């Protein structure tokens, strides 16, 4: 192993529910260096960080700190080793003062547990001074701006004698000035011998701050390079450069009229603006973009979960107003939400009731609900979609992820939608079920349903979409035709590198 | 399968059966006609309140203001009766008052999404002390003759009370199982956000449940008021706890999503009988409340134990399927 490595991860693997998030990943961090970690959504960056900070434990592989193996890592252990992580959203206690936050969890007090307030204030001021923050230690954290809170977090980490600092997208919502200030702090920490892991989607800022860069892709570490010999273009190629390993069941569908159109749609509360998009019958429009680009927010706005304040939504050319999901459903719009386990299905409900939940009106008669009809419908859909279950009365919580998703999809097919919005339809489900869902999507499209598919998986986007709307910063940056789209192009646009020259 | 689904209701029923058996052996005189009749009549209003509370708890909310609402409705019934208002109009008026108080709760909790425990705590105090301020603690007395027992004989009047309670129970139990709205209540209670994403107007559902709770409180208050010749201003104190306890003992999950009215019926029967049973068993009735508290605790603990058991069972089944 490397001589002067502060932290080393060797052939680390981790799977969640059978989905491999990290495979034989390696990382070597030296003291006094800034190492950037880049990769697409789902490439395994977060998992690697979680293993280093002890939030999860690796299935295989080893972790070394100063050459010593780290066994049974836990948040407490990694903290005692001096490993701290700073996230995009500061994790401080808003109703405590800055000094209290900095002192939290490491101040022992005297033998009676009494706190020395003067001491606490002095330490806080000193640490804040080190990160160049002009903040009164007695201020409540809730009164600070986000960049200030970030500095407080760094100060807290320094107070805990951090030897390794991990920054996870620290500049995602910082202004240029705050970013430069953060970089200055990071450089000072580096010269003080702290090892820094720096995760960012902003490739253009990496040359300013990083010494080396490690690229993750599909859970594997692809390469580690010196920052000054690698270009942004090269990094992007390394991030996406894979073969389309899965075969997608894409078939040509005769497109019909425009069913659904968004004109300059915007919503301040959802953080999206100036969305223009038209979808035709039988068309699958993929929505690509990084986390935080506004993809789910767009879906929620269409479905009546967030209030639009600009522009309009047209259904078959007629402007409609959607104030509530119920209205969206009545207009024939269906939304399969992102977080299936949480809200896509009612886990305690049987399969049958889950399938009929959005179409209860159809089952309502004079003598109460038509349970016979409910059984027929549920059996029909479970058969058609291939839900693997002994009976339709089993609770959905007993099903596998893929089968749960099929139940969720059945629910929306039963509403006979003309527009179907799928948010990460195959996230976290196994390969077999994934292919089945893709097959179903084609069948649905062939029936003339317009499909809007949000996905963080570029192969899925490229494999299934007729057109691809790439979102960046709360709006659609570019719409690519299937033939013109490549992973590099999509990622470049999503990262905000290139715009407009492909609009069409 | 069926058994495991209703295991909580069945446990409560077994506890009730055990109580009756002990009483049958130790004090068989408990089972004389007059005593049973008194028990049924006394608990009829409580059952009506517990029906409403079942719905409230089912959607994951709570209503601790019903004791005070009950007092407002009772006094209003008496006051209106003294104006010589005909019975149907009188009943409508009381129902309306109850519904309005429920609607106020429902609007604050459903539409404004305020926590039900705090909203109804405020209402508990507001209605109780508002009423005390208005009546200055005085009882409503000299009720007209056609008010008590609806102007019928006591026997017929009692029959009407029990009949109304039984009818309401049947209607609500049937509706909860067979109507779309019943399914919606279970969905909202199981996972409010999932229900919303499935197009259910969750604020409206919660609002409706509180209105029904208020209306049922009005009915219960009315049926209770006609049994006596006067109405005390402080009537109904602690009724909310009685109703909540009955629902919980009947197997409902206080977190919502799980409750049956059959369970609630058993809960009302068990908690409503225990006081009288103690007297017959020669135990000081001062123990009644303590024992009721113990029963609630036992219900909660056994519920948690059953849950854990159920989870293991699920694992076993999954294992069997894989094999």
Q: From CA A441, how far away is CA A444, in angstroms rounded? A: 5
For A383-428, what is each residue's pLDDT tens digit?
A: 999 888 889 999 998 888 888 999 999 999 999 999 999 999 988 7
B266 Cβ neighbours under 8 A, 6+ residues apart: B9, B12, B13, B16, B249, B250
Residue B175 distance to chain A (closest CA, Å): 8
Task: Give the pLDDT confidence score for residue A218 in this predicted structure.
Answer: 84
Please name which of A276, A279, A260 lies closest in space to residue A319, comparing C-alpha atoms: A260
List pLDDT tens digits, range A103-127.
Answer: 876 665 566 667 777 788 888 898 8
Mean pLDDT throughout B269-288? 89
Residue B286 domain flag: no
Identify the bridge partners of residue A284 per DSSP, sorted by sequence position.
Answer: A451
Residue showing tokens 């299934």: A464
Q: Strand ranges (DSSP E) for A290-424?
A: 310-315, 318-320, 333-336, 364-365, 368-369, 419-423
Nearest-neighbour CA in chain A from B265: distance (Å): 23
Mean pLDDT for B210-232 is 95
Note whether B199 contacts A325, CB cutoff 8 Å.
Answer: yes
- pLDDT for residue A339 is more than 80: no
Task: Express each pLDDT in B44-100 by its tens digit.
Answer: 999 999 999 999 999 999 999 999 999 999 999 999 999 989 999 999 999 999 999
Tell me which DSSP letter residue A472 carries.
Answer: E
Separation CA A221–CA A73 (nearest Å): 21
Instruction: Let me know if residue B288 belongs to a domain.
Output: no
Tokens, residue A254? 């005769």
Query: Do residues A458 and A492 make contact, with C-beta atoms less than 8 angstroms apart?
Result: no
Rounded mean pLDDT of B178-196? 94
Judged by CB atoms closer than 8 Å, whether chains meet at B191 and A398 is answered as: no
How far, rounded to the nearest angstrom, does the alpha carbon of residue B200 sit from its chain's CA centroid? 26
* Res. B310: pLDDT tops 70: no
How far apart are the C-alpha atoms of A100 and B136, rounded to whole Å?
52
| pLDDT (tens digit per residue) in A340-362 | 666 889 988 999 999 999 999 99
Which residues in chain B have Cβ-Cβ distances shorter than 8 Å to A305? Answer: 196-197
If pLDDT is split at 50, 70 and 90, which confidence band does A504 have? very low
- Closest chain B residue by Cα to residue A330: B199
Residue B138 distance to chain A (closest CA, Å): 47
pLDDT of B321: 30
Which residue from A minimizes the CA distance to B319? A398
Closest Cβ–Cβ partner in A346, A360, A361 for B191: A346
Which structure tokens are listed for A233? 């273009």
| Residue A65 pLDDT greater than 50, yes or no | yes
Q: pTM of the full predicted structure? A: 0.77
Rounded CA-CA distance A405/B116 in Å is: 33
Give backbone dihedrals phi and psi of B184, rounded to 5 degrees, phi first. Answer: -65, -40
Structure tokens at A138: 């007695």
Among chain B residues, CA nearest to A335: B197
B140 DSSP β-pair partners = B231
B297 assigned to some structural domain: no
With an 8 Å Cβ cutoff, are B199 and A368 in contact?
no
Q: Which residues are CB-contacts of B17 (< 8 A; sequence separation ≥ 6)?
A: none
DSSP string, A269-285: TTTEEEEEEEEETT-EE
**Residue B312's pLDDT is what?**
45
Determine the average pLDDT of the residues in A315-333.
94
Nearest to A464 by CA among A281, A276, A246: A246
Within a domain: B35:
no
Does residue B135 surpass a pLDDT of 60?
Answer: yes
A165: pLDDT strictly greater than 70 = yes
Provide the pLDDT confidence category of residue A172 given band limits of 50, 70 and 90: confident
Residue B3: the pLDDT is 54
- Let me know if residue B52 belongs to a domain: yes
Annotate A22-72 with DSSP letters as a single string.
Answer: EEEEEEEEETT-EEEEE--TTSSHHHHHHHHHTSS--SEEEEEETTEE--S
Give the pLDDT band (50/70/90) at residue A456: confident
Residue B1 has pLDDT above 50, yes or no: no
Nearest to A331 by CA among A410, A262, A417, A413: A417
What value does the mean pLDDT of chain A take?
88
Q: Could A325 and B198 be called an inter-chain contact, meaning their C-beta atoms sit closer than 8 Å?
A: yes
> Is B53 domain-assigned?
yes
Q: Is residue B98 part of a domain?
A: yes
Percent of all residues in chain B with a pLDDT value above 90, rounded to a whole number: 70
Of B180, B194, B201, the CB nearest to A345: B194
Nearest to A349 among B180, B190, B193 (CB): B190
pLDDT bucket at B5, cuts 50 / 70 / 90: confident
pLDDT band at B300 (very low <50, low <70, confident <90, very high): confident
Interface confidence, given as ipTM, is 0.84
User: Which residues in chain B have Cβ-Cβ distances shorter than 8 Å to A303?
Assistant: 197
Find, among B219, B162, B147, B208, the residue nearest to B181 by Cα. Answer: B208
Q: Is A108 exposed, middle or buried (0-12, 13-18, 19+ CB in 10 A)?
A: exposed
Q: Please state the φ and ψ torsions of residue A395, each to the nearest 5 degrees.
A: -65, 140
> What domains are there in chain A, each with its CATH number?
5-240 (3.40.50.300), 255-332+418-504 (3.40.50.300), 347-416 (no CATH)
Confirm or reject contact between A363 and chain B (CB < 8 A). Answer: yes
Give burial (CB, 10 Å; 0-12/13-18/19+) of B20. Answer: middle
Q: In which residue are the tokens 């019928």 written?
A: B152
- Residue B314 with chain A: CB contacts under 8 Å: 398
Q: Which of A100, A42, A470, A91 is nearest to A298 (CA)?
A: A470
Cβ neighbours of B168 (radius 10 Å): 19
pLDDT of residue A201: 78
With respect to residue B174, please indicate whether it lies within any of the assigned structural domains.
Answer: yes
A164 strand-pairing partners: A83, A195
Residues from chain A contacting residue B180 (CB–CB below 8 Å): 360-361, 363-364, 369
Whether A361 sits inside 8 A of B180 (CB atoms) is: yes
pLDDT tens by residue, A437-452: 999 999 999 999 999 9
Q: CA of B181, closest CA in chain A: separation in Å?
A: 9
Lowest mean pLDDT among A149-153, A497-501, B251-255: A497-501
Count of residues for chain B?
323
Closest CA to A92 of A104, A107, A82, A81: A104
* Domain, as residue range, for B222: 45-281
Q: What is the pLDDT of residue A426?
A: 87
Are the Cβ atoms of B197 and A305 closer than 8 angstroms? yes
Least confident of A93-97, A176-180, B316-320: B316-320
Query: Stretch B269-295: mean pLDDT, rounded?
Result: 88
Q: Is the pLDDT of residue A72 over 80?
A: yes
Q: Where are the alpha helices (DSSP H) in B107-153?
A: 116-135
Cβ-based burial of A198 (10 A; exposed 0-12, middle 13-18, buried ≥19): buried
pLDDT band at A1 (very low <50, low <70, confident <90, very high): very low
Task: Look at residue B214 in the predicted model and tell me its pLDDT.
Answer: 98
Give residues 144 to 203 of A whose Cβ lies within 8 Å of B: none
Closest-CA residue to A356 (of A379, A327, A339): A379
Mean pLDDT value across residues A331-335: 96
Interface of B with A (CB under 8 A): 174-175, 177-180, 183-184, 186-187, 190-191, 193-201, 257-258, 314, 317-318, 321
The C-alpha of A337 sits at a distance from chain B's nearest C-alpha, in angstroms, of 8
Is A344–B197 a contact, with Cβ atoms under 8 angstroms apart?
A: yes
Asked whether the beta carbons of residue B178 and residue A368 sit closer than 8 angstroms, the reply is yes
Asked if pLDDT for residue A371 goes beyond 90, the answer is yes
Domain count along chain B: 1
């Amino acid at each position: 192993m490397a001589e002067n490595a502060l932290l080393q991860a060797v052939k680390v693997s981790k799977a969640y529910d059978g989905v491999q998030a990290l495979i034989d990943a390696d990382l070597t961090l030296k003291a006094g260096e800034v190492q950037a970690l880049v990769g697409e959504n789902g490439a395994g960056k977060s998992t690697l960080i979680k293993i280093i900070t002890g939030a999860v434990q690796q299935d295989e592989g080893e972790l070394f700190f100063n050459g010593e193996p780290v066994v049974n890592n836990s948040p407490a252990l990694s903290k005692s080793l001096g490993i701290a992580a700073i996230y995009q959203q500061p994790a401080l206690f808003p109703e405590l003062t800055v000094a209290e936050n900095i002192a939290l969890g490491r101040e022992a007090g005297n033998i009676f547990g009494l706190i020395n307030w003067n001491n606490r204030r002095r330490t806080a001021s000193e640490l804040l001074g080190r990160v160049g923050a002009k903040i009164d230690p007695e201020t409540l954290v809730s009164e600070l701006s986000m960049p200030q809170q970030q500095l407080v977090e760094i100060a807290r980490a320094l107070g805990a004698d951090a030897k390794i600092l991990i920054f996870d997208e620290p500049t995602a919502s910082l202004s240029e000035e705050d970013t430069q200030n953060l970089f200055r702090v990071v450089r000072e920490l580096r010269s003080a011998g702290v090892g820094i892991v720096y995760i960012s989607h902003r490739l253009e800022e990496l040359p300013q701050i990083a010494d080396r860069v490690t690229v993750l892709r599909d859970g594997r570490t692809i390469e580690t390079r010196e920052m000054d010999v690698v270009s942004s273009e090269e990094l992007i190629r390394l991030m996406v450069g894979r073969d389309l390993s899965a075969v997608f069941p894409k078939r040509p569908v005769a497109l019909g009229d425009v069913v659904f159109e968004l004109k300059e749609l915007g919503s301040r509360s959802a953080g999206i603006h100036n969305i223009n998009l038209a979808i035709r019958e039988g068309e699958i429009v993929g929505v690509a973009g990084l986390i935080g680009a506004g993809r789910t927010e767009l879906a929620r706005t269409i479905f009546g979960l967030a209030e639009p304040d600009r522009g309009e939504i047209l259904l078959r050319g007629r402007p409609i107003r959607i104030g509530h999901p119920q209205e969206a459903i009545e207009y024939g719009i269906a939304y399969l939400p992102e977080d299936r386990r949480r809200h896509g299905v009612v886990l305690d409900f049987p399969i049958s009731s889950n399938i009929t939940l959005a179409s209860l009106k159809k089952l309502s008669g004079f003598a109460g609900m038509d349970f016979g009809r409910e059984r027929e419908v549920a059996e029909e859909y479970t058969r058609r979609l291939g839900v693997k279950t002994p009976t339709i009365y089993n609770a959905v919580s007993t099903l596998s992820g893929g089968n749960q998703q099929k139940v969720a999809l059945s629910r929306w097919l039963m509403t006979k939608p003309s527009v179907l919005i799928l948010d990460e339809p195959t996230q976290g489900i196994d390969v077999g079920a994934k292919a089945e869902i893709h097959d179903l999507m084609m069948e649905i499209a062939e029936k003339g349903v317009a499909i809007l598919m949000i996905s963080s998986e570029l192969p899925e986007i490229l494999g299934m979409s007729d057109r691809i709307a790439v979102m960046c910063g709360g709006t659609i940056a570019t719409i690519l035709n299937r033939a013109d789209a490549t992973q590099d192009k999509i990622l470049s646009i999503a990262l905000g590198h290139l715009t407009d020259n492909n609009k069409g | 399968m069926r058994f495991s689904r209703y295991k909580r209701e069945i446990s409560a029923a077994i506890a009730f059966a055990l109580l009756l058996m002990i009483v049958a052996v130790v004090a068989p005189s408990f089972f004389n006609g007059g005593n049973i009749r008194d028990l049924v009549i006394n608990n009829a209003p409580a059952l009506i309140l517990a029906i409403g509370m079942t719905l409230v708890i089912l959607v994951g909310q709570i209503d601790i203001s019903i004791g005070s609402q009950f007092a407002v409705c009772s006094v209003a019934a008496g006051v209106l009766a003294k104006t010589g208002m005909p019975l149907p109009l009188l009943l409508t008026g009381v129902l309306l008052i109850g519904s309005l108080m429920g609607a106020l709760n429902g609007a604050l909790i459903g539409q404004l999404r305020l926590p039900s425990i705090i909203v109804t705590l405020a209402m508990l105090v507001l209605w109780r002390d508002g009423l005390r301020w208005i009546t200055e603690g005085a009882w409503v007395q000299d009720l007209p003759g056609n008010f008590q027992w609806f102007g019928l004989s006591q026997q017929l009047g009692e029959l009407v009370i029990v009949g109304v309670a039984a009818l309401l129970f049947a209607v609500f139990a049937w509706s909860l199982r067979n109507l779309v709205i019943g399914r919606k209540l279970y969905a909202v209670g199981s996972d409010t956000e999932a229900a919303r994403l499935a197009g259910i107007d969750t604020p409206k559902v919660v609002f409706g449940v509180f209105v029904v709770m208020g209306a049922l409180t009005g009915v219960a208050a009315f049926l209770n008021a006609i049994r006596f010749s006067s109405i005390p201003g402080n009537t109904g104190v602690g009724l909310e706890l009685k109703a909540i306890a009955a629902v919980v003992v009947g197997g409902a999950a206080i977190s919502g999503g799980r409750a049956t009215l059959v369970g609630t019926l058993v809960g009302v029967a068990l908690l409503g009988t225990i006081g009288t049973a103690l007297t017959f068993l020669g135990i000081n009735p001062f123990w009644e409340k303590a024992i009721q508290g113990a029963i609630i605790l036992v219900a909660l603990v056994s519920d948690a134990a059953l849950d854990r058991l159920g989870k293991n069972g699920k694992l076993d089944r999954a294992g069997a399927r894989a094999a």
